[in-house]
Homo-oligomer: A and B are copies of this chain.
């Protein structure tokens, strides 16, 4: 099946479940205070995106023979809800103001406070509420797991795998935060962040949770790792490309924020390595510049192409995808499911948002 179709079907099938879940929580919390109701509304509105992780959880379930569609749709939402939590916290750390075409949660709360309370520090309140709402969302994800329509044995195995995975992702995020400031970062370091922060989290983990929900053994879920690692790193390379070359409308977040943040992407690293003279200086003064201009972004885009850095990244991403695909036959022998895994792999680097 085409990856886009698979994702679209997943979103279609889960949208009413997500809505009902948050409506229930709004009622529960709304009974006590309008603040609780508002929290759940903001969380619900923040849900969205491509639903890659939820879809892959469902796909992993199907690959390992799972047949209870209702149960897996409900359970897989834990992954999307947890993803929203991580984005909320990530947006604080990256000081991003836009996400999924909406103000990020800390900015939304900053605005709410600015309106209600005249004095004091709206930025700090925005940040506090976004930390807190993220924590609430993380707990909600686990609550969904607890309530999922699977056996306690299965849920306990997912509990372990999922927690280990988030722990690793937080560790990857720490590398990311630290490396932004470090002076000697090489391609291997960037790959290490992508491995820990993205690949396991976005591809391997979700497929594995799905597999575990279907009752797969530990040896079986191991087989997903090689596919997930290659395809997952490729996913991140494409993400960094889109972050530099897409447009805000398509992407739902501003272009060039990686430049402003001084994020060490492969594009950044390679452009710096390949650039000479003035170009190198332009890159150095743009990356990490909090007052980045549009003209500077354009310049960085040009230099990244001109030096061959974009080409380098794209070719690597393609190689990784092709390498990842080689492991598909180890995961499943079903031709249709194999086909979906191939197309998912391609999608990760062909997607426009």
Q: How far, in Å, is A161 (CB) from chain B's closest CB?
A: 8
Find out whether the CB atom of A131 lies under 8 angstroms from the CB atom of B92: yes
Q: Pick the 7 closest A-B CB pairs, nearest first.
A: A146-B160, A152-B152, A136-B170, A143-B163, A139-B166, A117-B181, A93-B128
Find out whether the CB atom of B131 lies under 8 angstroms from the CB atom of A89: yes
Find out whether the CB atom of B155 lies under 8 angstroms from the CB atom of A167: no
Write out the residue numbers on chain B whose beta carbons fall within 8 Å of the beta carbon of A140.
163, 167
| A140-B163, A164-B143, A288-B120 known; A178 vs B35 contact (CB < 8 Å) | yes
Beyond A93-B128, A93-B131, 7 additional contacts (C-beta under 8 Å) are A35-B175, A86-B135, A92-B127, A116-B181, A135-B138, A139-B164, A146-B160
B-facing residues in A6-54 (Cβ within 8 Å): 29, 32-33, 35-36, 39
Number of copies: 2
Cα distance A262–B347 when bound, in Å?
A: 51
Find out whether the CB atom of B128 lies under 8 angstroms from the CB atom of A177: yes
Chain B residue nearest in CB terms to A160: B146
Does chain B have a CB within 8 A of A95? yes
Does chain B have a CB within 8 A of A142? yes
Cα distance A348–B238 when bound, in Å?
A: 55
Write out the residue numbers on chain B whose beta carbons fall within 8 Å of the beta carbon of A138.
135, 138, 166
Find out whether the CB atom of B152 lies under 8 angstroms from the CB atom of A139: no
| A170-B132, A192-B33 known; A159 vs B177 contact (CB < 8 Å) | no
Find out whether the CB atom of B135 lies under 8 angstroms from the CB atom of A160: no
Cα distance A111–B157 when bound, in Å?
A: 39
Does chain B have a CB within 8 A of A151? yes
Q: How many positions in chain A have a CB within 8 Å of any CB in the partner chain?
A: 59
Write out the residue numbers on chain B whose beta carbons fall within 8 Å of the beta carbon of A132.
89, 93, 170, 173-174, 177
Q: How far, in Å, is A229 (CB) from chain B's closest CB?
A: 14
Write out the residue numbers on chain B whose beta carbons fall within 8 Å of the beta carbon of A133.
170, 174
Find out whether the CB atom of A166 lies under 8 angstroms from the CB atom of B129: no
Chain B residue nearest in CB terms to A147: B160
Cα distance A170–B157 when bound, in Å?
A: 26
Write out the residue numbers on chain B whose beta carbons fall within 8 Å of the beta carbon of A135.
86, 89, 134, 138, 166, 170, 173
